[in-house]
Structure 1
Amino acid sequence: MAFTREFIKGLGIEGDNLEKIMTEYGKSHTESAELQKKVEDLTSQNETLTGQIKERDGQLKTLSKSVGDNEELKTQIKSLQDSNKQTATEYQAKLAEQSKNFKIDSALRDAKARNPKAVKALLDLEKVSVDGDNLVGFKDQLEAVKKDNDYMFESGKPNESAKQGVKVVTGGNPGGNGGSEPSIVQRIAQRMTGGE
């Protein structure tokens, strides 16, 4: 039965006494709601844990059935081990291939290939292998490609366009240093023309 303000007034209680009674009733009602919430939370946790226990029981039954046939379990384990070995081997092969490609790309940059991807297409990469930090079978192929396609590589001599350089027009004070050091634009221009 809920106590309402009208019910208590009907009993002849008014004023401060009515307010005190309503405050106490409100506190007890709030505490009751909090307790109900805790009961609901605990019930929910209990249901979750019960479900997890049932799931584990099912897994144990499945495992115990597998253990019953020991040969079948050994076969499954062997299959998983073989699969793991194959995955590890494939992973190592991918790493080795990536390392080989990185070393080839670095060597092509060092050889000043204008378009490393195009030069790479002219190489027989199946005949190239990695021995430590060295590429075996690469240098001879690269020399042959250079001989037949020298235009694909930058020469040690600067070409006419490099001699002309880059014209840089600056205004204001981009360096902000009063002209004692070259500005960022001037340093980039120096690098492009080989001045640094």
Structure 2
Amino acid sequence: MERKFLEELGLEKESIDKIMAENGKDIEKAKGDLSTKETELETLQGQLKAANEQIEEFKEMDVEKIKAAADEYKTKYEEAQNKAKQEMEKLQFEHKLEGALSGAKAKNIKAVKALLDMEGLKLNKDEIVGLNDQLEKLKEENDYLFESEETTSSSTFIRPGNTNKNDKSESLGARLARKVKEN
């Protein structure tokens, strides 16, 4: 709407100013709405372009190859899980076996393990099945590998010239000093 049109209608200047001000608000609002819609349109056109490019990339893809790769990765994942489970079971078995051999008073756990038939041993929860029979047989045949059930007294080494058996903590220098004072 133009001011000249309103003047031709015979409206007063004050009324024309009010009408033009109100019309200006409407025009500015319409411009804002138009700007918003233009921005929205540009965004949508960009998204459409990106989607079309993605569709073109999908057209070039070999779906069967992707399915085969997914199956291959699934197989590798399952194999890795099984391997990890076997490793955990092996570690648990080794830990239980070493604990049992230590409890059986083996002097050298590595030597005793070398004489065991490992294929005859199976871990069942917290117990190694077949171990007791093999240990009994080993104790009969190779008793030197195990500490005896008898309690033995520990022998003490007495240095030559030391007649006092209870004087183990005195150093050589202290003993020499004592001997010099005695003479």
The interval holding the TM-score normalised by the smaller chain is 0.5 to 0.7
Q: Kindly indicate whether residue 83 of structure 2 is the aligned counterpart of residue 90 of structure 1.
A: yes
- Spell out, residue by residue over 1:101-154, the C-alpha distance to the aligned partner (whole angstroms, 9 max, x if none): 111111110001011100110101111111110111111111111111111100
Match in the other structure for 2:154: 163
Q: 1:79 to 1:115 in 2, by over 3 A?
A: same
Deviation of residue 67 (structure 1)? 7.5
Letter in 1 for 2:98: D
| SS, match of residue 163 in structure 1 | coil
TM-score (normalizing by structure 2): 0.54
Give structure 2 stretches of 5+ with no counterpart: 1-52, 159-166, 172-183
CA distance in 2, matches of 1:99, 1:169: 45
Letter in 1 for 2:154: K
- Paired positions, count: 110
Give structure 1 stretches of 5+ with no counterpart: 1-59, 173-196
| SS, match of residue 102 in structure 1 | helix
Q: Kindly indicate whether residue 135 of structure 2 is the aligned counterpart of residue 151 of structure 1.
A: no
Equivalent of residue 122 in structure 2, options 104, 129, 133? 129
Q: Kindly indicate whether residue 107 of structure 2 is the aligned counterpart of residue 120 of structure 1.
A: no
| SS, match of residue 164 in structure 1 | coil
CA distance in 2, matches of 1:128, 1:138: 6
Larger Rg belongs to: 2
Deviation of residue 163 (structure 1)? 3.3
TM-score (normalizing by structure 1): 0.50
Alpha carbon RMSD of aligned pairs, Å? Answer: 2.7
| SS, match of residue 100 in structure 1 | helix
Letter in 2 for 1:170: S
If asked which structure has higher relative contact order (CA below 8 Å, sep 6+), I would say 2
Equivalent of residue 96 in structure 2, options 91, 103, 109? 103
